């Protein structure tokens, strides 16, 4: 069933239930001609918001809404960054880049209320055609922009989300690649054994546990329980849930050998010499990719080690 046209809805007495959307709709018109619209899942939340707007009309505080219309995109993004740093684990790897793309594409000095769907569509096409990034990356940038404007609505900075009508590419990036256990896997280990020292054991542990690269590089010895043969991963998994991972014989033996090498330090994988001695290793991308190239293994990424584990 199509939603009832807006002009036929009467918001004067409070929020209106729209069955087709399964939402409570609230709409308030202000004396200066501006209006605010919101959707709510619960009637109670809708009623509270609508009543607050009515009080602002009665006491004259509604004029604050017009002041918010002078907020620039750059100022709003700066505020959202502080919010995102505190609430989003993926801020540095995902959100920050999306906000930078939005700010550069639209112009930080533009008023937040003047950002249009056309601006976002232009950003979308520029990223794809001029910046030469994948469609999945463009979708991620759009998703960040959409979340940002939803937050702005909740902060009463804007009344609508210009990203709402922008279509995503929804590119299917599903790709399953794993090592051949008879040829590619032993070949990769042989090349990894040439150094640095930590590349081979990290590959072995990943293939036998399925842990993510970040989990392995952040692994501490106090998370390794040899007596119970488990690895305790606290809140570092992708979904934030702690897990107790059982060790098979290969993992047990590999960690036992590593204990002799780095056991005096807090982390399993640390620098063994130099000014960073004892500090955890934070990146193995170059060393891993070098081993892959030497082994002449095509189209293989570190994340594919987890696919090898699952296979």
Enclosing domain of residue 128: 73-154
Q: Tell me: pLDDT of 90 over 90.
A: no
133-152 per-residue burial string, b: 16 or more CB within 10 A, e: under 16: eebebbbbbbebbbbbbebb
Domain closes at, from 46, 68, 90: 68
Distance (Å, rounded) from C-alpha 182 to C-alpha 281?
30
Among residues 47, 98, 46, the alpha carbon closest in space to that of 77 is found at 98
pLDDT of 28 reads 86
Is pLDDT of 38 > 90?
no
pLDDT at 235 over 70: no
Gyration radius from the chain CA atoms: 26
Does residue 28 sit in the same domain as residue 119? Answer: no
Q: For residue 2, what pLDDT is reported?
A: 42
| CATH number reported for the structural domain that contains residue 221 in this entry | 1.10.443.10
Given this model, what pLDDT does residue 311 score?
61
Q: Give pLDDT tens digits for 69-88.
A: 678 899 999 999 999 998 88
Residues 101-112: b if buried by 16+ CB within 10 A, e if exposed = bbbebbeeeeeb
- Is the pLDDT assigned to residue 253 strictly greater than 90? yes
* Among candidate residues 108, 136, 154, the one where a domain is terminated: 154
- Verify that 194 and 291 share a domain, yes or no: yes
Q: How many domains does the chain have?
A: 3
- CA dist 61 and 163 (Å) reads 29
Same domain for 121 and 12: no
CATH number at residue 129: 1.10.150
The pLDDT of residue 69 is 61
Taking the C-alpha atoms of residue 18 and residue 39, their distance in angstroms, rounded to an integer, is 10
**Quick check: 68 pLDDT over 70?**
no
From 58-67, 185-194, 245-254, the region with the lowest mean pLDDT: 58-67
């Amino acid at each position: 069933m199509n939603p009832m046209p807006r002009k036929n809805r009467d918001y004067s007495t409070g929020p209106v239930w729209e069955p087709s959307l399964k939402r409570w709709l609230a709409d308030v018109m202000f004396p200066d001609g501006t209006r605010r619209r919101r959707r709510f899942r619960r009637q109670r939340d809708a009623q509270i918001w609508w009543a607050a707007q009515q009080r602002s009309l009665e006491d004259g505080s509604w004029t604050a809404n017009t002041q918010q219309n002078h907020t620039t995109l750059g100022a709003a993004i700066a505020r959202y960054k502080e919010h995102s740093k505190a609430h989003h684990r993926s801020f540095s790897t995902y959100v920050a880049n999306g906000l930078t793309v939005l700010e550069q594409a639209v112009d930080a000095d533009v008023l937040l209320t003047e950002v249009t769907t056309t601006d976002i569509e232009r950003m979308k096409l520029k990223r794809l055609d001029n910046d030469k990034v994948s469609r999945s990356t463009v979708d991620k940038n759009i998703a960040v922009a959409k979340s940002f404007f939803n937050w702005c609505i909740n902060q009463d900075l804007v009344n609508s989300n210009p990203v709402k009508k922008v279509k995503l590419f929804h590119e299917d990036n599903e790709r399953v690649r794993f090592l051949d256990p008879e040829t590619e896997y032993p070949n990769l280990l042989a090349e990894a054994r040439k150094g640095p020292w930590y590349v081979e054991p990290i590959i072995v542990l990943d293939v036998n546990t399925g842990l993510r690269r970040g989990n392995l590089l952040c692994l501490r010895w106090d998370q390794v329980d040899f007596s119970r043969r488990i690895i305790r991963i606290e809140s570092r998994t992708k979904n934030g849930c702690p897990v107790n991972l059982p060790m098979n014989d290969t993992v047990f033996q590999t960690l036992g050998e590593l204990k002799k090498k780095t056991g005096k330090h807090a982390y399993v994988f640390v620098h063994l010499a130099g000014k960073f001695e004892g500090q955890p290793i934070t990146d193995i991308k170059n060393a891993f990719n070098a081993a892959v190239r030497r082994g002449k293994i095509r189209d293989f990424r570190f994340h594919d080690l987890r696919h090898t584990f699952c296979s």
